[in-house]
Structure formats: structure tokens, C-alpha cells
Amino acid sequence: MDLELNEEQAAVRQLARDFVDREVTPYAAAWDRAERVDRGIVKKLGDLGFLGMTIAQRYGGSGGDHLAYCLVTEELGRGDSSVRGIVSVSLGLVAKSIAAWGSEEQKREWLPRLCSGAAVGCFGLTEPGTGSDAANLTTRAVRDGDGYAITGGKMFITNGTWADVALVFARTGAEPGHKGISAFLVPTDTPGVERREIHGKLGLRGQATAEIVLDGARVPASAMLAPEGKGFAVAMSALAKGRMSVAAGCVGIAQACLDAAVEYAGQREQFGAPIARHQLVQELIADIAVDVTAARLLTWQVADHIDRGLPFATQSSIAKLHASEAAVRCANNALQVFGGYGYIDEYPVGKLLRDARVMTLYEGTTQIHKLLIGRALTGVSAF
């Protein structure tokens, strides 16, 4: 693996860094308090090509490799995880699934709009009764003339109230488990689709997270993504790559913690010296630095595997598990460096801790990733 960035990767990282410092970081605290990111950010992300990375230019994408995508995701995560999540879902889970599995018609219908930011996508896998055990989902799509009528409920859906299209996973067959699941591209203005915003989240408060209720929502047969019964494969392939972007977002959080802790430790004086002089404060900072570096290298390794066409699913689990746990540790350590000031939202580290906490829960909890890694290594499923 070549750890040097090439010219294109370095340029896109700088573009993202400047954008985040100018358009994201200065507003992140206000968006968090208001529980809403300014929606205008979506078009700005699209204009810079950040919503079309790795997607072919003929479909409105901006091309680039997965390492460049990680670099952008890291920078967005450094500025505001709520903004990072918009990209990770709309591009990472939805547009990339359409690019990988879609018909020519589906690609032409959705990709240019998703890549430009004219449309937003959401990913509807989790249900009120099935989270980690997603293969047991109960939403059902029943054949209805030349289309399907979808009925069920989806829970905790990122971008839910903003989305123009929902990638919905529903049961079409009688087979139990993952075999009977199909994927559908459901326009969110379809009659029978109702979206309810979920309020009161611990973190990611700027993000539009929703419960989606489908009550006989009718879509044409052409809305099915990939062949019937292949829906679970669509979901798992999306998440295998998606976990890399969650990991990259965690690296961004951890980097923001490092930057904030170093700066504060140099300014705050106690016992007649900057707290940076105290060895135990340096220990906190050193622990953050070790976590950031390890998480970044693990994440880049996943991108490198994808870009070189190597197997990457287990690496992706390893990176996501480590980076998410590391982001929580880093945010907690940074808050300790800030002392009581870390506990009030005038300073950034409290929000970083709140935003980091969900990372060990979604796109596979820490426990689920341990089971995935354990299964890959031992050949024995402990689910």
C-alpha cells in the first residue's frame, strides 16, 4: 500500500479542508443547537463534486477513487458529523447502490440528481422490530398489477425527511431470512409514504432522522433495484463500503478532538504553567494521537483494497469497529483536557463526544462487527 497521496488526492483533500473550514465548522454549533443543518449545504456539496465521488462522470459523478472519497469524508467529519452523514448516506449507501446494481434507466433517472444535490437519498433497512437482525425485516412488497404495493415501517432513517428517494428493503418472497428480500427505489412523494422526524437525539442533532411508514405505497416494477430476492445482497454490499465512510467520519471526529485538545492545552494555565506542561495532560493528548493515526491507516487500507479490487469486507468491519470506538475515546479524552469547559457547548468537544457516540451503534454495532470479524477468522457463525 502506497501511503503517499497522489496529486489528485492531495488536491481534493485541500478542497474539502478549505470548504469545511469556510462553510461547515463555523456553523456546526449553531446547527446543533437549532437541530437542523442549513439545507443549502447539499447544493454546495454537489457543486464541489462531493456527492458524486467514485460515480462515473457520464452519470453526473465526479469520479475519483475511494481513498479520495475517504479524505473528503474525513474532512466533513472533522467539521460536522451531521453534514458528513448526508454524504455517507445519499452518496455512500444510495447512489453507489444504484451505480452498482441499477438498470441503465434507474442510473439515468437518479444518479445525476443525487450527484448534483438536486435530490437526496435515504437508506431504509432498519425497522422498529429489526435492527442488528436486519435479515428478519417484515416490511412487505406485494405484487399489485404491473407494480408492487409496499407496507411496513422503517426506523432511524438518516436524511429521512429530506430525501427525494428512499432505498427500501422489503420482503417479496415467502422464504424466511435474507432470501426473500428485494430492494426498491421509492420516491418519497409516493402516496402511502409518511415520514415522521425523530427528535431528541443525543448527537447528530443537525441531521434529519426519521421514521418512515409505508402504507400500500405503490411503485412500478421498474423501481426494483437488482433482481427479485437480491435485496439483502444490495444492502450488505452497500454497508460493506458504507462502513469505510463511517470509519473515515470517525477519523475526522478524532482529528478534531486532537486539534482542539492541543490548542486548549497550550492556552489554559494551571499551577503556573500551560496544562500542556503536565505529563498526565500530555498522556491524554498522546492517546488521542495514537488512536487517530491507527484509525486513519485502517480506513485508508479499506479504500486501498477497494480501489485495487481486493476483498475488503472484513477490513471494513475492523476499520469501522476500531475507528468508532477510537472516536468515542478521543472525544472523551479531549473533554478531559478541557476540564469543566468541555462540558458546556461554548467549546466544541462536548458535541464531538455526542456525535461520536452513535458511530458504535449504526452500520453494525460494535458487537455485530466483532461477530462478523470472528466469523471471518474462525469460519464459525456466532450470531
Residues annotated catalytic, as ranges: 363
- DSSP codes of every residue in 39-106: THHHHHHHHTTTTSBTS-GGGT--B--HHHHHHHHHHHHHH-HHHHHHHIIIIIIIIHHHHHH--HHH
Among 68, 95, 204, 334, binds ligand FAD (CB under 6 A): 204
- DSSP codes of every residue in 150-190: EEEEEEEEETTTT-SEEEEEEE-SS-SGGGGEEEEEEETTS
Nearer Cβ to ligand FAD, position 140 or 268? 140
Among 37, 89, 298, 334, binds ligand FAD (CB under 6 A): 89
Measured CA distances, 84 to 24, 94, 245 (Å): 10, 15, 9
What CA–CA distance (Å, rounded) separates 292 from 21? 20
Phi/psi of residue 150, nearest 5 degrees: -105, 130
Among 126, 161, 182, 301, binds ligand FAD (CB under 6 A): 126
Q: What letter does residue 364 receive in the DSSP assignment?
A: S
Name residue 142's amino acid: V
Does 362 contact ligand FAD by CB under 6 A? yes
Q: How far is the CB of 85 from ligand FAD (least distance, A)?
A: 8
Does 237 contact ligand FAD by CB under 6 A? no
Nearer Cβ to ligand FAD, position 76 or 276? 76
Does 361 contact ligand FAD by CB under 6 A? yes
How many residues contact ligand FAD, by CB under 6 A? Answer: 22
Nearer Cβ to ligand FAD, position 26 or 128? 128
Interface segment toward ligand FAD; rule CB under 6 A; list 15-23, 124-132, 254-262, 321-329: 124-132
Q: How far is the CB of 47 from ligand FAD (least distance, A)?
A: 24
CA 167: distance to chain centroid? 15
Q: How far is the CB of 372 from ligand FAD (least distance, A)?
A: 11
Interface segment toward ligand FAD; rule CB under 6 A; list 63-71, 256-264, 282-290, 356-364: 356-364
Among 125, 214, 251, 326, binds ligand FAD (CB under 6 A): 125
Does 368 contact ligand FAD by CB under 6 A? yes
Residues 44-83 as b or e (16 or more Cβ within 10 Å = b): bbbebbbbbbbbeeebbbbebbbbbbbbbbbbbbbbbbbb
Interacting positions 140-169 with ligand FAD (CB under 6 A): 156-158
Which residue's CB atom is positioned nearest to ligand FAD?
A: 131
Among 5, 15, 132, 373, binds ligand FAD (CB under 6 A): 132
Q: Is 224 helix (H, G, I), strand (E, B) or coil?
A: strand
Nearer Cβ to ligand FAD, position 168 or 349? 168
What CA–CA distance (Å, rounded) separates 283 from 37? 35
Does 123 contact ligand FAD by CB under 6 A? yes
Joined together, the cell numbers standing for residue 344 give 458546556
Q: How far is the CB of 371 from ligand FAD (least distance, A)?
A: 6
Interface segment toward ligand FAD; rule CB under 6 A; list 4-12, 76-84, 283-291, 363-371: 363-371
Q: How far is the CB of 201 from ligand FAD (least distance, A)?
A: 6
Nearer Cβ to ligand FAD, position 279 or 378? 378
Does 111 contact ligand FAD by CB under 6 A? no
Joined together, the cell numbers standing for residue 332 give 472523551
Name residue 365's amino acid: T
- DSSP codes of every residue in 17-39: HHHIIIIIHHHHHHHHHHT---T
Q: Which residues bind ligand FAD (CB under 6 A)?
A: 89, 123-126, 131-132, 156-158, 201, 204, 209, 358, 361-363, 365, 367-368, 371, 383
